[in-house]
Amino acid sequence: MAAYLKRLDLDDRLDSLKVIHIAGTKGKGSTAAFVESMLRHSGYSTGLFTSPHLMDVRERIRINGQLVGEDVFLRNFWECFQNFQDESKPDSPGMPAYFRFLTLLGFKIFLEQGVDVVVLEVGLGGRLDATNCVRRPVVCGVASLGFDHMDVLGHTLPEIAREKAGIFKQGVPAFTVPQPAEAMEQLERTAAEVGAPLALTPPLEAYTAGSAPTLGLPGAHQRVNAALAVALARAFEEQESEQGDGSGAEQAAARVKELAQGRLPSSYLTGLEAARWPGRAQVVEDPETPAEPGSPPRLTFFLDGAHTAESMTACAEWFADCALAPEEGEVQNLLVFNCQPERSPEALLEPVVSVLDRRAVALRRAFFAPPDSMVGKLGKRQGPAELTWQRQLQGTWEQLCKKQSATKAPALCPESAVLPSLKSVLDSCRKSVRDSPNLRLRVLVTGSLYIVGDMLSLLGVRIS
């Protein structure tokens, strides 16, 4: 990254950004969303860099909670592209890979826009990630750790924790959440080697004075992410109160004092409630099958881009909470699932079967369909739908359901089907509710961010 930063004349300027750097296996994106929202509602201008995107590449670079404008994005994109493409200059590093390019683009835009703080989500791992070119972040955070990208990060929790802790810097405070013992030991070991003061995040329950927070992101697991976000925001404001000047520093000091007294500042409460993270525990009512006034929705989609065993467990618990809410009339639950071939279908589907069975949430049907796009795959075209993988997913699902329901009746999920596209899944759901006026469907869409993004697009949802 050093050569690319130098080529864009960003190598020295990058140090002027005040960065909150966040790694982790699951929850780092939600944590970033919480941090950004709290600081924005506290009066700071914010930059937020996350990945991947669902529908629009500009989702990765946000200014003050909004997608960066098309004009700003395109102007800076072409400046970067032409600079890297120009091989007439000495020591040309060539064109950076996709994620590196977008990371560099994000830094360039944040510097141009003059934001007060950048909330920077790691792409993959941490130690070797493109975002780790930041030499002196204000604070670092590590969200919950688990098994993902093991071919790159390692096959044990200590190996994975070591890669995530690679963002730690000497003298820079770091925070993490409760972790498995072997992962926590590795985080502590790396922090000691680097000279980074590492602390365990206080739970939200530690803030007993004042109002209890309401989170804008549903799911019990989000309380852990929100707690980490509060710790990161507090560390940032502690620096602002000490190194800033004027009324901004005074206001930051006042909020830090409230936190020390066990009270969440009003701007933090507002930010936690206002936080949104598209494609994660998102509920969307189908606009094509509206309910009668005063009646429950006919067709509701529950979308979560979970793609690890741990996040699938949290997703299934969230859906079970929603599905067990009392409703009148005939209500059926459906599953729409797809994951990338490099992932283990059994590892992802087993938590769904286990949780829904334990919570007594029955599914009427499970659909397996490929995503309609190849979002993020630059230079690649999608060929005709190849359904061999989806049939393998279906087979894994049916085996898991059969095993779980061997001694129970009725079965967890009596039917499953492979369909050629998400559009055909959506058409099938709409036909069902149109053919049965008293029927209401709740549809869980999960397994990857690609399938979630494509379904949101089909439903006409726009990300602002």
Contacts of residue 399, Cβ cutoff 8 Å, sequence gap at least 6: none
Contacts of residue 346, Cβ cutoff 8 Å, sequence gap at least 6: 396, 400
149 belongs to an annotated ligand binding site: yes
Instruction: Write the CA distances from 205 to 27, 202, 317, integer angstroms.
Output: 19, 8, 21
Distance in angstroms (rounded) separating the CA atoms of residues 405 and 402: 5
51 belongs to an annotated ligand binding site: yes
Amino acid identity, position 332: Q
CA-based nearest residue to 113, from 141, 71, 80, 83: 71
CA-based nearest residue to 233, from 212, 208, 205, 204: 204
* Adjacent-strand bridge partners of 444: 302, 335
Query: Which two structure tokens, joined as six digits, stand for 228?
Result: 């980490």
Q: Name the maximum alpha-carbon separation found in the chain.
A: 72
280 belongs to an annotated ligand binding site: yes
Distance in angstroms (rounded) separating the CA atoms of residues 174 and 169: 9
Looking up tokens 């009066």 gives: 43
Instruction: Write the CA distances from 271 to 140, 234, 268, 274, 464, integer angstroms.
Output: 20, 13, 5, 5, 17
Distance in angstroms (rounded) separating the CA atoms of residues 445 and 406: 26
Contacts of residue 50, Cβ cutoff 8 Å, sequence gap at least 6: 29, 32, 33, 59, 60, 62, 121
The H or E element containing residue 442 is strand 439-446
HSE on the CB side for 108, CA within 13 Å? 23
Annotated binding site: 51, 121, 149, 280, 304
Annotated binding site for ATP: 280, 304
Annotated binding site for Mg(2+): 51, 121, 149
